[in-house]
Amino acid sequence: MTGALTPEQEKAYLDKLSEALQIGYSILTNGGNSIDSVEATVRVLEDSPLFNAGKGSVFNCEGKNEMDASIMNGKNLKAGAIAAVHTIRNPVSGARAVMEKSSHVLLAGDGAEKFAKECGIEIVPPTYFYDEERHQQWLATKDMEGASWAGDTYIATPEKKLGTVGCVALDSAGNLAAATSTGGVNNKKFGRVGDSPLIGAGCYADNKTCAVSCTGEGEYFIRQAIAFDVSALMEYKGFSVLQAATEGIKKVAQLGGEGGLIAIDNQGNIAVPFNTSSMFRGWINSQGEKFTGIFR
């Protein structure tokens, strides 16, 4: 459905995707590694109120922005994640600090924020994340039963015109990385944690197979460990990344869920299946060709 975005809005989304891609790509072409690339790319999207991550995150049932993020290194299977945080300006960098500076994988709530601060990660007041349009979306839906999905993939109704962000990358040394960051779902229950910070559900990377970042109704991705499943289908069944990623989204759809994912294999093949009307997406391939798109 194209009616929900004006041509100006569409351009703003595509330009921001393009800017983020260019930053990640230039790190890779200058010999940087895939972890630096995915973190930098996701930070650009977190800083933009256009997407449902960092600034511009959706509101939970108490009217608060409560964010989740993760990052994974396919070279050594190290991973870090944070959940239900309110003051870490760039949640993906908080996740990276957990991966690199702690012996843990996932920190949540106050502890995650305290740890990020100790690591020198930028802390901001919760009001930093406020976005007027998002707030209006929440006010319009807050008395409805349950949460409404905030899939970045989905543009059909105003309250769904939101956007979890993610990035996957392969560097010149053959190392894969994935990162995912989100405000979760609009009007979610306080303390609700989605798939985005759960390694194997909304984020996964393994140099043997692929790197994956998911978006959509997180509960469906958690219950089927979709990000890991894509990797496992490649490893155990010899699927291509396109076959495995398509199968992952098929499983989400079979249970009644909606969403999409981005995946790249260790040869640089890219797959971006989704079962929604649209998904903000883009890539630059190893030939340097760039694509950005929203609708099917």
Residues interacting with ligand ASP, by CB under 6 A?
52, 150-152, 164, 182, 184-185, 194-196, 202, 215-216, 218
CB nearer to ligand ASP: pick between 43 and 192: 192
Identity of the residue, 274 or 283, whose beta carbon is nearer to ligand ASP in the bound complex: 274
Minimum distance of ligand ASP from residue 72's CB (angstroms): 16
**Among 161, 224, 158, 221, which Cα is nearest to 193's?**
221
Annotated catalytic residue within 41, 87, 153, 164: 164
Min separation Cβ 151 and ligand ASP, Å? 4
Shortest separation between residue 41's beta carbon and ligand ASP, angstroms: 16
* Least distance between ligand ASP and beta carbon 260 (Å): 9
The distance of closest approach from Cβ of residue 185 to ligand ASP in the complex, given in angstroms and rounded to an integer, is: 5
C-beta separation of 220 from 249 below 8 A: no
**DSSP output for 174-222:** S-EEEEEEE--SBTPPTT---STTSBTTTEEE-TTSEEEEEEE-HHHHH
Q: Note if 41 is an active site residue.
A: no
Contact 32, 171 (CB under 8 A): yes
Q: Which is nearer to ligand ASP, 119 or 253 (CB)?
A: 253
Which active-site residues does the annotation give?
A: 164
